[in-house]
Amino acid sequence: MDAPPVFRQRLLDAIPRLRRYARSLTHEPVEADDLTQQTLARALAHWRQFDPERDMLVWLLSIAHNAFLDGRRRDARLQIVDPAELQRTQEAAGGTGGTDVGLRLDLVAALARLTPEQCEPLLLVCVEQLSYAEVAEVLRIPIGTVMSRVSRARQALRRFLEAEARPGAAVLRRVV
């Protein structure tokens, strides 16, 4: 039996935020699309397990988080990314949107330097605007741990962005 129309509509409504979260995890549009697709496929395959009283987005973000971790476990390798390559990718993806490309690249590089344990809760709180309790549910960690990781991530970002960048320095970045 297929998922009911109400479930499917709630799923469709959550896709933009799900995709944004997937993009923040993977840092790559194609990989984010793959993660989004994988999450939606898992959600549709297990729609009977969804509690209608639960927030659909939180449920989907939990699935995406677990799928991302599964992929990371399968393929934990590192890749060197040249900042110039990041800029070319950004320009090819739609230009600057009125924002300083250098600042955006610095932020992307700083986010890439955070551990996933810091980056994931930070993005869920700051970008997806989930409550600490919702983030704790998505990541399956205590709320105090969420608060601590977000605080440490903000401090680390501040340090990374305030530090003088060496021209032409490569950024070490995880590929999942």
Architecture (CATH level 2) of domain 1-75: Orthogonal Bundle (1.10)
The whole model's pTM is what?
A: 0.61
**pLDDT single digits (tens) 84-118:** 665 666 566 555 444 445 556 677 778 888 888 89
Class of domain 77-176: mainly alpha
Distances 143 to 69, 74, 94, 131, 171 between C-alpha atoms, Å: 20, 28, 37, 10, 31
For the chain, the structural domain boundaries read 1-75, 77-176
**pLDDT single digits (tens) 61-79:** 999 999 998 887 776 544 4
Average pLDDT, the chain: 80
Tell whether the model's pLDDT for residue 34 goes beyond 50: yes
